[in-house]
Structure 1
Amino acid sequence: MELQGTVKKITEVQTFASGFQKREMVLMTEEQYPQPINIEFLQEKGDLLNQIKEGDKVKVAINIRGREWTSPQGDVKYFNSIVGWRLENVASDSNEPTQATPSQTQPAQGGNVFEEEDDDLPF
């Protein structure tokens, strides 16, 4: 699955006692009602965030993970997380169509396109 949008925030690396590391990015989606989506990058995938900055337009490949947790009181709760595993910087100018250059075969400016030309077409 992929998400595309503008980077709103990038956090610093969080390192836990077990040696586990994660880094988070908030992505603002590009839709009628933009949504801030928090995406986690785990372990060495956190390094992917070194190549971007806040305000960049990016495309992120994600996985959605779920887990179950039982509280000390016995209540069962469910949590979801969005984990990024690939990140592509989408340059804003590469999405714009390139302008075609005028062809040499077009009629000169001000010329009548309906004028008869010498050709051998049957009509």
Structure 2
Amino acid sequence: MEIQGKIKMIDETKTYGSNGFRKREVVVTTEEQYPQHIMIEFVQDKTDLLNAFNEGESVKVSINLRGREWVNPQGETKYFNSIQGWRIEKLTAENESAGMPPIPPMDAFEPANELNEEDHDDLPF
């Protein structure tokens, strides 16, 4: 999955536990009628990906949704969700519009010289 928007906040890398688990959070604000502030966490070696980015930049973030179950000491089962980023890239004005890749210019295609209207094609229209 992917999320597009502007970086609202980039947190510092935090280290947890004796094994040195690293986590860094970024908040991306979507640009739609009702903007959403989505917190995305980058973990372990992926935390370094955020070093090249600044607040206010338009980005596209590739994410995975994660969920886990936990039973507390009282025996109650709790569920937690997280959004984990694994790639982030800057958006330019060209590739920002509707998340579509840029359309190649017409001269990027070779002309069809041997066109026979009688030939069968498999196009549905």
* Class of the TM-score when normalised by the shorter of the 2 chains: 0.7 to 0.9
1:16 matched residue in structure 2: 16
Q: Assess, with a 3 A threshold, how the Cα gap between structure 1 residues 91 and 48 changes in structure 2: closer, same or farther.
A: same
Aligned equivalents of 1:62, 1:82: Cα separation in 2: 6
Aligned residues: percent identity? Answer: 59
- Runs of 4+, deviation exceeding 2 Å: 91-97
| Letter aligned with residue 12 of structure 1 | E
C-alpha displacement of 1:91 = 2.4
User: What is the number of equivalent residue pairs in this alignment?
Assistant: 97
Structure (1 or 2) with the greater helix fraction: 2
Preserved CA contact (<8 Å) 1:57 1:92: no
Give the TM-score, by structure 2 length: 0.73
1:89 matched residue in structure 2: 90
2:62 matched residue in structure 1: 61
Residues 88-111 of structure 1: per-residue CA shift (max 9 Å, x gap): 1012466479xxxxxxxxxxxxxx
Structure 2: stretches of 5+ with no match in the other structure: 103-125
1:3 matched residue in structure 2: 3
C-alpha displacement of 1:73 = 0.8
| Letter aligned with residue 92 of structure 2 | A
Aligned equivalents of 2:70, 2:11: Cα separation in 1: 26
Aligned equivalents of 1:91, 1:14: Cα separation in 2: 30
Root mean square deviation of aligned Cα:
1.6
Preserved CA contact (<8 Å) 1:6 1:27: yes
2:106 matched residue in structure 1: none
Give the TM-score, by structure 1 length: 0.74
